[in-house]
Chains A and B, each alone.
Chain A
Amino acid sequence: MEFGPVWRAMMRNKGGYFLIAVQIAVTMAVMVNAFAIMQERSFKMGRPSGLDEANTFALVSVGFKPEMDSKALISEDLDLLRNTPGVINAVATNSYPLRQGGWSEGLHREPGVGKSVSSSAIYFVDEHGLETFGLNLIDGRNFSPEQVSWDKDSPDPWPATVIITQALGEDLYPDHEGSYVGKTFWFDDDNPANIVGVVERLQAPWPSWTGVERSMLVPLRRESNDVRYVVRTEPGYRDQLMLQVEESLANSSKDRIIRQVATVDEARKLAYLGDAAMIKILTFVISLLTAITGLGIVGLASFSVARRTRQIGIRRALGATRPAIVRYFMLENFLVSSIGIVSGAVLAVGLNMFMVQAFSLTPLAWYVVPVAMIILWIVGQVAVAGPARKASGISPAIATRSI
């Protein structure tokens, strides 16, 4: 190929080519890093919560009679729910993953006042919590019914047994190898909790919290007029049972109303609304930028063809075939693009290193930069194809006909 002369000819008209190369480089850097952000967001959105999400819904019972026997009502409600055909299990709890509201506590490795070493989301449940949430118990055992106590709004004292997530164990006991079952930590000065079980995964209610994987089940029924129930159904029965259960609960007591009936899927959607929007925006930005760069290349190539009409005719007269003319412009574009793409790759990696440092973004996957490079090379070649084809149509007679 005529690499040398094409390069030397370009070097005599640096301006336009330089600008396009810069544009390509910037596109490359933005593209790669926008993609890195998208990838991170979509990874975040893809994390499982630990629940049997597709078959789970929640609702809230709000009692409005101050003197009502809420303890009795909760027990009745749970009986009703658990005996409804199609329901696998149900539990009264303060919150559930993806709800974006919940309870958290600082945890201590030693008794007495001092700095907490970890923190965790708290889910108050009874012995049905494990099955209702659909959790995978990897160590220890579930609560026994005797371990579940009743209390008012805030536990005092805290129950002495808990089930934690694997991630919480790792955070609480970073140097510990082996089972966390049997280990003790303290909620505050004098509230020890003994770990009886470990689940593989159960997210905290706040998806954007850095400690999202740290949570625990605490065996406590809370006596309150406002109760949140989480219900897990057989696959495929969720939507139907959601309506049915809402109605039967509403009918079973006139002293309360049923509110906030929602599936976990809906909660997930709401929880990741911002992330989903970010992905859409960045996709748009990447597409737009790529399109603008493509158009820039079309513009430069068209200009370059127009400026060289005569020279193209001369080349044709001297024996260039039409494909040879097309190749000339393709090669020229390849050279400009390569400069832009290679410096863009350097820029992209640099920017990413900065973002990893400044915003603790995960580093780029190895293939992102090469894929972006290939995409931009293709965009360049596609963009230049039209003007190049046009150039190849210029008549060799131009050489004698124009002065």
Chain B
Amino acid sequence: MLNMKNVSKVYRTDTVETHALREFSLTVEEGEFVSVTGPSGSGKTTFLNIAGLLEDLTSGTYELDGRDVSQLNDKERSRVRNEKIGFIFQSFNLIPELNIFDNVDVPLRYRGFDAPERKRRIEESIEMVGLGSRMSHLPAQLSGGQQQRVAIARALAGEPRFLLADEPTGNLDSQMADSVLDLLTEINTAGTTIIMVTHELGLVDRARRNIFVRDGRVSDGVPELHLADLAAG
């Protein structure tokens, strides 16, 4: 469902050119749970941003759901982000001025759902992450783990096919991290494709497949871990 070929991304400032991705190629099938690891600065976030249509690519091709998405205009990109992709960020990225209910509501409004439909989806997804009693709380009134669960509820309320997570447990202690990962595993089992960037090798075995990024490419040196294959072998 995600197919990148020879994607490169160059950041240009007045003085430096940074090749954040070079000839990056990757295919992810529907229903996969892929973890992305690699040293700091290797291009993981850049990859995720391009995959999530948050940034343009410099060259190469990117197909999502069989459609070339590298040439879309801003309106179409916004729409793909809104309908097909859910984002989970390291720093939760809830909107501080809005309560939990309104936070989850944000992408649904851009989607154009009517009020009853939005309400149903918001309540369902907040219930799903176990925060049904906190709907009118502000983000600042929740723990980090709870905030990240709200972020997951927000990402899932629109029922995206595709969930992108950048260090979703980076700001959480291990107990909270576990509960978030349990949730992601559950979501993946229910059919959502997940790509998760992480530093922590301990999380890698949660995923069924790991790719290792180094220097802006899917590393040749370290073989992709196909945990499912290993288990089978």
**Chain B: minimal CB distance from A26 (Å):** 27
- A401 to B98 CA separation, bound complex (whole angstroms): 22
Choose one: B83, B93, B105; the contact of A319 (CB below 8 Å).
B83
Q: Which of A6-14, A90-98, A170-178, A373-381 contacts B (4 or more CB under 8 A)?
A: A6-14
Choose one: A2, A9, A322, A396; the contact of B81 (CB below 8 Å).
A396
Interface residues of A in 310-349 (CB under 8 A from B): 310-311, 314-322, 324
Question: Do A8 and B87 touch (CB < 8 A)?
Answer: no
**Chain A: minimal CB distance from B163 (Å):** 13
Question: Do B110 and A320 touch (CB < 8 A)?
Answer: yes
Question: Do A319 and B111 touch (CB < 8 A)?
Answer: yes
Q: Is B52 an interface residue (CB 8 A)?
A: yes
A311 proximity list for chain B (CB < 8 A): 95-97
**Chain A: minimal CB distance from B126 (Å):** 16
Q: Is B6 an interface residue (CB 8 A)?
A: no
- A5 to B82 CA separation, bound complex (whole angstroms): 18
Q: Is A403 an interface residue (CB 8 A)?
A: yes
B89 proximity list for chain A (CB < 8 A): 399-400
Choose one: B79, B93, B102, B110; the contact of A399 (CB below 8 Å).
B93
B54 proximity list for chain A (CB < 8 A): 316-317, 395-397, 399-400
Interface residues of A in 280-320 (CB under 8 A from B): 310-311, 314-320
Question: Do A5 and B74 touch (CB < 8 A)?
Answer: no
A324 proximity list for chain B (CB < 8 A): 78, 110
Question: Do B102 and A397 touch (CB < 8 A)?
Answer: no
A400 proximity list for chain B (CB < 8 A): 45, 48-49, 54, 89-90, 166
- A314 to B97 CA separation, bound complex (whole angstroms): 13
The residue in chain B whose Cβ has the minimal distance to the Cβ of A312 is: B95
- A322 to B93 CA separation, bound complex (whole angstroms): 19
- A400 to B107 CA separation, bound complex (whole angstroms): 17
Choose one: A9, A317, A318, A399; the contact of B97 (CB below 8 Å).
A9
The residue in chain A whose Cβ has the minimal distance to the Cβ of B74 is: A322
Q: Taking A317-B87, A318-B87 as contacts, is the C-beta distance between A397 and B93 under 8 angstroms? A: no
A397 proximity list for chain B (CB < 8 A): 49, 54-55
- A397 to B51 CA separation, bound complex (whole angstroms): 12
Question: Do B78 and A5 touch (CB < 8 A)?
Answer: no
- A321 to B97 CA separation, bound complex (whole angstroms): 20
Interface of chain A, helix or strand or loop or mixed?
helix
Total interface residues on A, using CB and 8 Å?
26
The residue in chain B whose Cβ has the minimal distance to the Cβ of A321 is: B78
B154 proximity list for chain A (CB < 8 A): 318
- A320 to B108 CA separation, bound complex (whole angstroms): 10
Choose one: A8, A314, A316; the contact of B102 (CB below 8 Å).
A8
Number of residue pairs spanning A and B whose beta carbons lie under 8 angstroms apart: 83
Q: Is B172 an interface residue (CB 8 A)?
A: no
The residue in chain B whose Cβ has the minimal distance to the Cβ of A11 is: B97
Question: Do A310 and B93 touch (CB < 8 A)?
Answer: yes
**Chain A: minimal CB distance from B122 (Å):** 12
A395 proximity list for chain B (CB < 8 A): 54-55
Question: Do B82 and A319 touch (CB < 8 A)?
Answer: yes
Binary CB contact string for chain B from 86 to 119 against chain A (1 if under 8 A, 0 otherwise): 0101110101111100100111011100000000
Question: Do A319 and B81 touch (CB < 8 A)?
Answer: yes
Question: Do B111 and A321 touch (CB < 8 A)?
Answer: no
Question: Do B81 and A318 touch (CB < 8 A)?
Answer: yes
Question: Do B110 and A318 touch (CB < 8 A)?
Answer: yes
Binary CB contact string for chain B from 130 to 160 against chain A (1 if under 8 A, 0 otherwise): 0000000000000000000000001000000
Question: Do B78 and A316 touch (CB < 8 A)?
Answer: yes
Interface residues of B in 42-57 (CB under 8 A from A): 45, 48-49, 52, 54-55
A5 proximity list for chain B (CB < 8 A): 98, 102, 105-106, 109
Question: Do B106 and A318 touch (CB < 8 A)?
Answer: yes
Choose one: B45, B52, B79, B96; the contact of A401 (CB below 8 Å).
B45
- A315 to B81 CA separation, bound complex (whole angstroms): 11
**Chain B: minimal CB distance from A248 (Å):** 83
Interface residues, chain A, CB within 8 Å of chain B?
A: 2, 4-5, 8-9, 12-13, 310-311, 314-322, 324, 395-397, 399-401, 403
Nearest 6 A/B pairs, CB to CB: A319-B82, A9-B97, A318-B107, A319-B110, A321-B78, A396-B54
A-B contact list, 17 entries, CB within 8 Å:
A13-B97, A311-B96, A314-B93, A314-B95, A318-B87, A318-B106, A318-B110, A319-B110, A321-B74, A322-B75, A324-B78, A396-B54, A397-B54, A399-B54, A400-B49, A400-B89, A401-B45
